[in-house]
Chains A and B, each alone.
Chain A
Amino acid sequence: MRVAVMATCLGDALFPEAPRATVRLLRRLGVTVDVPEAQTCCGQPMVNTGYLDEAVPAVRRYVEAFDGYDAVVVPSGSCAGSVRHQHAVVARRAGDSALLDAVSHTGSHTFELSEFIVDVLRVTDVGASFPHRVTYHPTCHSLRMLRVGDRPRRLLESVRGIDLVELPEAQECCGFGGTFAMKNPDVSVAMGADKVRHVRETGAEVLVAGDASCLMHIGGMLSRQRAGVRTMHLAEVLASTADDPAAVTG
Chain B
Amino acid sequence: MSSRTFVGMPPFPVAAREALSDAQLRRNLARATGTIRAKRAAVVAEVGDWEALRARAAEVKDDTLAHLDEHLVTLEESLTERGARVHWARDAGEACDVVAAIARDHGIDEVVKVKSMATQEIGLNEALAANGVAAWETDLAELIVQLGDDLPSHILVPAIHRNRAEIRDIFRRRMAGAGRPAPDDLSDDPAELAAAARQHLREKFLSARMAVSGANFAVAETGTLVVVESEGNGRMCLTLPEVLVSVVGIEKVVPTWSDLDVFLQVLPRSSTGERMNPYTSTWSGVTPGDGPQEVHVVLLDNGRTRALADELGRKALRCIRCSACLNVCPVYERVGGHAYGSVYPGPIGAILNPLLTGPGEDAATDALPYASTLCGACADVCPVNIPIPDILVDLRSQVVDAHRGDRVPKPEAVAMRATGWAFGDARRLTWGERAAGLAGRLIGGRSMPGGRTALSWLPGPGSRWTGARDLPAPPAESFRDWWRREGRDEEDEG
Contacts and interface: CB of A to CB of B under 8 A. Distances in A.
A189 B426 contact: no
B424 A187 contact: no
Interface string A139-170: 01101110000000000000000000000000
Q: Could you say which interface size class chain A belongs to?
A: 35 or more
Name the residue in B373, B374, B398, B416 with the highest tally of chain A Cβ atoms < 10 Å from its Cβ: B373
A40 B429 contact: yes
B419 interface: yes
Given A9-B429, A19-B479, A51-B413, A140 B374 contact: yes
Contacts of B451: 247, 250
Contacts of B468: 185, 189, 192, 221, 224
Interface string A204-229: 00000000000011011111100111
A47 to B, nearest CB: 7
B450 A50 contact: no
B20 A184 contact: no
Contacts, number: 230
Contacts of A100: none
B412 interface: yes
A9 B423 contact: yes
Interface string A4-38: 00010101111110011001100110001101011
Contact of A186 (B16, B412, B424, B456): B16
A56 B423 CA distance: 9
Interface in A36-73: 37-41, 43, 45-58, 60-61, 65
Contacts of A231: 449-450
Interface stretch (B101-109, B196-204, B205-213, B486-494): B486-494
Contacts of B393: 47-48, 50, 86, 89
B400 interface: yes
Interface of A: 7, 9, 11-16, 19-20, 23-24, 27-28, 32-33, 35, 37-41, 43, 45-58, 60-61, 65, 85-86, 89, 93, 140-141, 143-145, 171-173, 175-192, 216-217, 219-224, 227-232, 247-250
Interface of B: 12-13, 16-17, 20, 330-331, 334-335, 369-377, 379-380, 390, 393-401, 412-413, 416-417, 419-426, 429, 433, 436-437, 448-451, 454, 456, 461, 464-465, 467-472, 474-475, 477-480, 482-484, 487-488, 490-491, 494
